[in-house]
Amino acid sequence: MFGGLLGGGCCDKDNVFLGLVACKEDEKKLAKLNDAGKCHEVGTYCSKKVSLGFTKICVEKKKSFCCFNSKLGRIFNEQGRPQLGKGWGSAEGPQCKGFTLEEFQKLDFSEIDLSEFIADIVGSFDTGKIQADSVKIQEKIQNNIENATKKPTN
């Protein structure tokens, strides 16, 4: 699990922010985890204020995230926390801790939608290879049937 903070929306795949400055290592790590679907955005907060005498204005905002070791971990946390009445904390103080064994046992897994995870698995299948293998299997079965039904020649 990784609790990350990111100012604005820093890194793209080239590890630069709008082509102007290089991103910090933790920002690169967060961008990579987020791109992989392993992070939950907790919220945005004002990280830097400037006083104008009678008032303060926000000059820098940051987003906070909870990142997990896998997409499945994120899915369980996003859908399991509401079941347990467990929140994410605040944007300034995210609570990224996973479930205890006791909490995990209380989850109603029939209420957890795994379609995002399943779509990733199905999308990783090589359907061309599956079809080719299917044809080979059918041919072998047919050959075995033909060989089994042939009359022995003496």
- Verify that 43 and 78 share a domain, yes or no: yes
In this model, does residue 8 exceed pLDDT 80? no
Distance CA 26, CA 90 (A): 20
Residue 98 lies in a domain: yes
- Verify that 96 and 123 share a domain, yes or no: no
In this model, does residue 7 exceed pLDDT 60? no
- Verify that 105 and 123 share a domain, yes or no: no
- Verify that 69 and 124 share a domain, yes or no: no
- Verify that 42 and 15 share a domain, yes or no: yes
Q: Which tops the pLDDT comparison, 105 or 153?
A: 105
Residue 140 lies in a domain: yes
Per-residue model confidence (pLDDT) at position 153: 65
Per cent of the chain over pLDDT 70 is 84
In this model, does residue 12 exceed pLDDT 60? no
Per-residue model confidence (pLDDT) at position 118: 92
Residue 154 lies in a domain: no
Q: Which tops the pLDDT comparison, 139 or 49?
A: 49
Per-residue model confidence (pLDDT) at position 58: 94
- Verify that 34 and 64 share a domain, yes or no: yes
Per-residue model confidence (pLDDT) at position 17: 47
Per-residue model confidence (pLDDT) at position 10: 55
- Verify that 101 and 121 share a domain, yes or no: no
- Verify that 100 and 122 share a domain, yes or no: no
Cα dihedral across residues 77, 78, 84, 88: positive or negative? positive
Tokens of 33: 């985890």
**51: exposed, middle or buried (C-beta count within 10 Å: 0-12, 13-18, 19+)?**
exposed
Write out the DSSP string of the chain.
Answer: -EEEEEESS---TTSEETTTEEPPHHHHHHHHHHHTT-EEEEEEEEEEEEE-SS-EEEEEEEEEEEE-SSHHHHHHHHHHHHHHT---B-SSSB------HHHHHH--GGG---HHHHHHHHHTS-HHHHHHHHHHHHHHHHHHHHHHHSPPP-
Domain range spanning residue 136?
114-149
List, for residues 59-111, the tens digit of each pLDDT value.
Answer: 999 999 999 999 999 999 999 999 999 999 999 999 999 999 999 999 999 99
Residue 59 CA: distances (Å) to CA of 2, 45, 52, 91: 26, 11, 12, 17
- Verify that 18 and 80 share a domain, yes or no: yes
Q: How many domains does the chain have?
A: 2
Contact indicator for 16, 49 with CB cutoff of 8 Å: no
